[in-house]
Structure 1
Amino acid sequence: MKRATSRDVAVRAGVSRSAVSMVLNGKGDGNIAADKQAAILAAAAELEYTPNSVARSLRTQRTHTLGLVTDAIASSAFGGLLLQGASEAAAAAGYAIVLVDTHDHPEREADAYRTLLDRRVDAVLFAAMSLRTYEPPAAMSEVTSVLANCFDSGGRVRGYVPAEVAGGRTAASLLLDAGHRDVVLLAGTPDAMAGALRAEGFQLERRERGLPPGRVVETGWQIDHGYAAAMQVLAAPDRPTGILCANDRVAIGVALAAARLGLDVPGDLSLVGYDDDENVAGRMVPGLTTVALPHREMGESAVRHLLDRVRGDVSPSAGPAPQDATVLVPCPPVVRDSVAPPSPR
């Protein structure tokens, strides 16, 4: 069947092609009478008319595509949520995303930007697997750009990152609000920025409640790390009533250690994770109370920022004001069944 054209829509609605163009490009209000706008929209729907993207690009000098460069997140669960949020926000605005995953190779990253610029994408997003600083390459200055899960310490490109300090405070509150005072944080590793910020939030929450600093045990990020650390902490005479974990995988290890030692969760030990890993937190028994990382929200917010700038014809080289360079995206609590008031000893 022959594809409908804007001329077909104009004939069906009894208007000019310029009127069709105005209405379908969102410029009808104030220019085209309301009844004519309704007739054009009805005709376009009846004819299943969609604008020709190539012709539209030639008229607007835009391709309605966004470039997305990642370091190593395309195959991860969290990365999937970030990509999904970015893709859905772009699709809702009529944009497509061209994804290039560099597998954490710097030389591939440089090639990725050049490839995307050669394809004349309207804007570029770089997304990182783990929270870190990022040095925007020169290619980013050639097009509207934004960062997700990383930030530019120089403040040239806006970055959307998790509010990790606030998230650490939230995680601590989940145990403190339940009445726990003897809480141990099984932290990640010193080289991980996210872990250090969460630990900062943990101590800040205790300090603001007038409590002494909490115990922090450098642990790691995997199940076996959590198990090994918990076997030491829980076997000690001064075992805590609550444990806050670097992530949900560590929390699995703690739960296994508690079972090995005959301790009930949450009867004898309350447990809080971090990440809200879809493969872990909701599947544990009992369900793991945790703090969610806002990967989907970061992807959505970053793309919406790009689209706002592209639609507003903001100069691609115009960087954000210093106070707007890094946007903290909230990390909300996810309450399940692994926290209860401490039992009398």
Structure 2
Amino acid sequence: MYRPHAAVRDLSGDDVSGQPENGKPPSRRPATSVDVARLAGVSRATVSHVLNGQVERFSAETVERVRGAAAALGYVRSTAGRALVRGRGDFIVLAVPHATVTRVQEVIEALSADIEELGFTVVVHFAGVRAGRKAPDRLHHMIETLRPAGVVNLGGLSEDDMEALRAAGCLVLPRYRSGDPNLFIGRLQAGHLHARGRTEIAYAFTGDRRDDPYGPGRAEAVAAFCAEAGLAPPAHLHVPIEAAAARKALERLVSLRGRPVGIACYNDEVALALVFAAKGLGLEVPGDVAVIGVERTEVGQVVSPRLTTVAGDLPAIVGFFRYDLARAYGGAASRPEPPGLTDGYRIYQGETT
């Protein structure tokens, strides 16, 4: 079995063997591949090949010596170096928008579980437009220098951003899903309101100043449904999560469109703000104002009236990312065909519609 020398020093005189002197841990810079090569008595190229798994051309004794030296020195290979050798890194970037997604942690956890099971590390990158400039510049730099295995777009990247990443040779996910799930969510909301007797329908955006990559698609789907059903185009309102402002927005809507009115909401927070605004205005829910949210938050299910909302089973919703990764890198896909656009989403009937 290979045993490193008691002490090896580099030209500066520092101990690079990883062995303590006088019982005290050595204080020095992190070990490099040059240190490993010196301790193992091989070339730096040999160290690079062995530690990247390219061991076919070397004897078992040489491989053991290099690995033993790396372990003794506590050598950690450079992520950028591995990416250069393999053509890609061993991590996946989740591009998360600066949006009001109340279940974002659950989404990240569900995605991370699938990604890590396939052998990749997850890096979360918040993307989107902030402070008048495009944030993806940092992401593009990361792609060019560290070459991740892929980028999962959760709505924070524009079509131009994704095209630029693809041009740089980066896998952008999802690849095999067609359509926008936000269109399906908006159609679910509008269809439900109409089925509950509402012929006057509106869409309520969040009044939050953060990015909203989901609302426009949902509002577009609500408008398309209204057109197909022969209804008037939906009114649009922006609802701050603040009592007086939400009440003012609802009062303006009712004065313009009358009642009863059905409102498809950006999320449960917006829906709750409108429920309490209706109470403040002396309006009945759902008699005068019917609302349906998105995300099925816990608070929306314990208030009275209990929210009607759209939500989905997270493992099913994020399944297409696992499918993409498995197709790209040879892992085990959870299903033979890409998950469908509507997989996992359904309406949870409450007391607000």
Give the deviation of 1:253 after TM superposition.
1.6
- Among 85, 90, 114, the alignment partner of 1:65 is 90
Contact 2:271 2:292 (8 Å CA) reproduced = yes
User: In structure 1, what is the equivalent of residue 20 of structure 2?
Assistant: none
Give the deviation of 1:172 after TM superposition.
0.8
Task: Report the 3-state secondary structure (helix = DSSP H, G, I; strand = E; otherwise coil) of the residue aligned with 1:271.
Answer: strand
User: In structure 1, what is the equivalent of residue 238 of structure 2?
Assistant: 219
Give the deviation of 1:276 after TM superposition.
1.1
Q: Which amino acid aligns with 1:337?
A: G
Q: Does 1:112 align with 2:142?
A: yes
What do the CA deviations read for 1:43-73 (whole angstroms, capped 9, x no partner)? xxxxxxxxxxx98955896999332142556
Contact 2:144 2:168 (8 Å CA) reproduced = no
Task: Report the 3-state secondary structure (helix = DSSP H, G, I; strand = E; otherwise coil) of the residue aligned with 1:333.
Answer: strand
Q: Which amino acid aligns with 1:125?
A: V
Q: Which amino acid aligns with 1:98?
A: V
- In the alignment of these two chains, the number of paired residues is 259
Contact 2:127 2:156 (8 Å CA) reproduced = no
What do the CA deviations read for 1:153-194 (whole angstroms, capped 9, x no partner)? xxxx667774222322210111111122233333458x9553
Q: Does 1:281 align with 2:303?
A: no
Give the deviation of 1:216 after TM superposition.
0.8
Contact 1:242 1:269 (8 Å CA) reproduced = yes
Query: Per the alignment, do residues 103 and 136 of structure 1 end up closer, same or farther by CA in structure 2, a change over 3 Å counting?
Result: closer
Point out which structure has higher relative CO (alpha carbons under 8 A, 6+ apart).
Answer: 1
Contact 1:68 1:99 (8 Å CA) reproduced = yes
Give the deviation of 1:205 after TM superposition.
1.9
- Whole-Å Cα distance in 2 between the matches of residues 252 and 133 of structure 1? 33
Q: Does 1:84 align with 2:109?
A: yes
Task: Report the 3-state secondary structure (helix = DSSP H, G, I; strand = E; otherwise coil) of the residue aligned with 1:184.
Answer: strand
- Among 153, 156, 171, the alignment partner of 1:145 is 171
- Whole-Å Cα distance in 1 between the matches of residues 257 and 136 of structure 2? 49
What do the CA deviations read for 1:121-161 (whole angstroms, capped 9, x no partner)? 5x21233455743423766556561235xxxxxxxx66777
- Whole-Å Cα distance in 2 between the matches of residues 308 and 194 of structure 1? 27
User: In structure 2, what is the equivalent of residue 254 of structure 1?
Assistant: 274
Contact 2:152 2:321 (8 Å CA) reproduced = no
User: In structure 1, what is the equivalent of residue 30 of structure 2?
Assistant: none
- Among 152, 156, 159, the alignment partner of 1:126 is 152
Task: Report the 3-state secondary structure (helix = DSSP H, G, I; strand = E; otherwise coil) of the residue aligned with 2:111.
Answer: helix
- Among 189, 193, 197, the alignment partner of 2:217 is 197
Please, which runs of 5 or more residues in structure 2 have no aligned partner?
1-49, 57-85, 129-134, 332-337
Task: Report the 3-state secondary structure (helix = DSSP H, G, I; strand = E; otherwise coil) of the residue aligned with 1:292.
Answer: strand
Q: Which amino acid aligns with 1:246?
A: Y
- Whole-Å Cα distance in 2 between the matches of residues 283 and 132 of structure 1? 37
Q: Which amino acid aligns with 2:183?
A: V
- Among 106, 112, 123, the alignment partner of 1:99 is 123
Contact 1:168 1:198 (8 Å CA) reproduced = yes
Give the deviation of 1:289 after TM superposition.
1.2
Name the larger-Rg structure.
2
Query: Per the alignment, do residues 338 and 134 of structure 1 end up closer, same or farther by CA in structure 2, a change over 3 Å counting?
Result: farther
Give the deviation of 1:305 after TM superposition.
0.6
User: In structure 2, what is the equivalent of residue 332 of structure 1?
Assistant: 345
Task: Report the 3-state secondary structure (helix = DSSP H, G, I; strand = E; otherwise coil) of the residue aligned with 1:219.
Answer: strand
- Whole-Å Cα distance in 2 between the matches of residues 311 and 297 of structure 1? 20
- Whole-Å Cα distance in 1 between the matches of residues 266 and 143 of structure 2? 34
Q: Does 1:304 align with 2:323?
A: yes
- Whole-Å Cα distance in 1 between the matches of residues 100 and 189 of structure 2? 27
User: In structure 2, what is the equivalent of residue 178 of structure 1?
Assistant: 196
Task: Report the 3-state secondary structure (helix = DSSP H, G, I; strand = E; otherwise coil) of the residue aligned with 1:99.
Answer: strand
Task: Report the 3-state secondary structure (helix = DSSP H, G, I; strand = E; otherwise coil) of the residue aligned with 1:201.
Answer: helix
- Whole-Å Cα distance in 2 between the matches of residues 163 and 171 of structure 1? 13
Alignment RMSD: 4.1
- Whole-Å Cα distance in 2 between the matches of residues 245 and 144 of structure 1? 35
Q: Does 1:291 align with 2:319?
A: no
Query: Per the alignment, do residues 161 and 146 of structure 1 end up closer, same or farther by CA in structure 2, a change over 3 Å counting?
Result: farther
What do the CA deviations read for 1:211-234 (whole angstroms, capped 9, x no partner)? 232431231564555433113234
User: In structure 2, what is the equivalent of residue 152 of structure 1?
Assistant: none
Task: Report the 3-state secondary structure (helix = DSSP H, G, I; strand = E; otherwise coil) of the residue aligned with 2:91.
Answer: strand
- Whole-Å Cα distance in 2 between the matches of residues 236 and 75 of structure 1? 28
Q: Which amino acid aligns with 2:123?
A: L
Q: Which amino acid aligns with 2:276?
A: L
User: Which residues in structure 2 correspond to 1:4-15 (within 5 Å)?
Assistant: none
Give the deviation of 1:288 after TM superposition.
1.3
User: In structure 2, what is the equivalent of residue 272 of structure 1?
Assistant: 292
Task: Report the 3-state secondary structure (helix = DSSP H, G, I; strand = E; otherwise coil) of the residue aligned with 2:214.
Answer: helix
Contact 1:160 1:328 (8 Å CA) reproduced = yes
User: In structure 2, what is the equivalent of residue 36 of structure 1?
Assistant: none
Query: Per the alignment, do residues 159 and 280 of structure 1 end up closer, same or farther by CA in structure 2, a change over 3 Å counting?
Result: farther
Give the deviation of 1:260 after TM superposition.
0.8
- Whole-Å Cα distance in 2 between the matches of residues 75 and 112 of structure 1? 25
User: In structure 2, what is the equivalent of residue 164 of structure 1?
Assistant: 182
Query: Per the alignment, do residues 281 and 127 of structure 1 end up closer, same or farther by CA in structure 2, a change over 3 Å counting?
Result: farther
- Identity among equivalent pairs (%): 21
